[in-house]
Each structure stands twice: as C-alpha cells, then as structure tokens.
Amino acid sequence: MRAKLYSVLNKIYGVLMSVSFFAGIIPLPGFLIALCIGGTTGEKICVFFGNGYYPWVIVLGSIAVVIGLIAMYVGKMEGLSVKKVSAEEPKT
C-alpha cells in the first residue's frame, strides 16, 4: 500500500513539476515581443504576465513541491532529515 501511494504521489509530482516548468517558459515570446514593442503596450503585456500569469505558475510549483515532499516521506526517503547515512566515517 505504501509503495503504491509513493508511486502515485511521485507521478503526480513529476507531472506537476513538468507543467510548472513549461508554464514558466511559455511567456518568453510575450516578453520578447513586449521588449520589441516597448512603450505602454509592452508594459501592459509584462504587467499581465507578472501579475496575472506567474502567480498561478508559482502556486502550481509550490503544490508540486509539497506533493513531492509527502511522496518522499511516504516512501521513507527522508532527504531533509539529519540522520546518519552510514556507521563508518570516511577515511582521509
């Protein structure tokens, strides 16, 4: 049961992070067009992306990170813990 839940959460995490990554790249042509146009029209395009679009992308990425952390702990992959990895110290 735990392994199946880990697998499902890990797939959801992967999909959400991929969507968030590509959604962050989508406005690049819009910013380049706004840079070329300039003036008030270019400013309006940039303000739309900055205030209307990117907050949703950031929320989507944050949700993906939370799901990824839950998946790590369900799968007993405690990457943010301070447990000792091995009993032996590396020899120098």
Average pLDDT of span 24-39 = 91
Average pLDDT of span 42-71 = 91
Instruction: Tell me how far apart the alpha carbons of residues 47 and 57 are, in angstroms, rounded to a whole number.
Output: 15
Look at residue 81 and tell me whether its pLDDT is greater than 70: no
For all residues of the chain together, what is the average pLDDT? 86
The two structure tokens encoding residue 14: 């992967």
Look at residue 11 and tell me whether its pLDDT is greater than 60: yes
Residue 40: per-residue pLDDT:
92
Q: What percent of the chain stands above pLDDT 70?
A: 84
Instruction: Tell me how far apart the alpha carbons of residues 65 and 53 are, in angstroms, rounded to a whole number.
Output: 19
Instruction: Give how far Cα 54 sits from Cα of 2, 11, 78, 89, Å.
Output: 35, 24, 30, 46
Among 55, 84, 80, smallest CA distance to 68 is for: 80
39 Cβ neighbours under 8 A, 6+ residues apart: none
Residue 1: per-residue pLDDT:
84
Look at residue 43 and tell me whether its pLDDT is greater than 80: yes
Look at residue 90 and tell me whether its pLDDT is greater than 60: no
In 3-state terms the chain splits into helix, strand, coil percentages (rounded to 5) of 75, 0, 25
